[in-house]
Structure 1
Amino acid sequence: MSTDARASHRIKSIEIDDDSLAAASRDQEQERQVAIFDLLEANYFEPVEAAGGPYDLRLSLIENRLAFDIKGPDAPDERWERRHLLSLSPFRGVIKDYFMICDSYYSAIRNSTPQQIEALDMGRRGLHNEGSNLLRERLDGKVKTDLDTARRLFTLICALHWRG
Structure 2
Amino acid sequence: MVDRPLSLYCLLLPSQKMIHRLLTTAVRGLSANYRDVIYYRVKGGERLCRTPFAVFQERESGKLSPKARAAMSPEALRKQFEALSGKKRATYAAAARKNRCEIDLRRKAFKQASLSGFSHFIKTTRQWTDLGRRAKEKCCAETEKIRQAAKVERDKMVEMYYSGNAVKH
Bin for the TM-score computed over the shorter chain: 0.3 to 0.5
Greater percentage in helix? 2
Q: Which has the larger radius of gyration?
A: 2
Q: Identify the structure with the greater strand proportion.
A: 1
TM-score, length basis structure 1: 0.33
Q: TM-score, normalised by structure 2?
A: 0.33
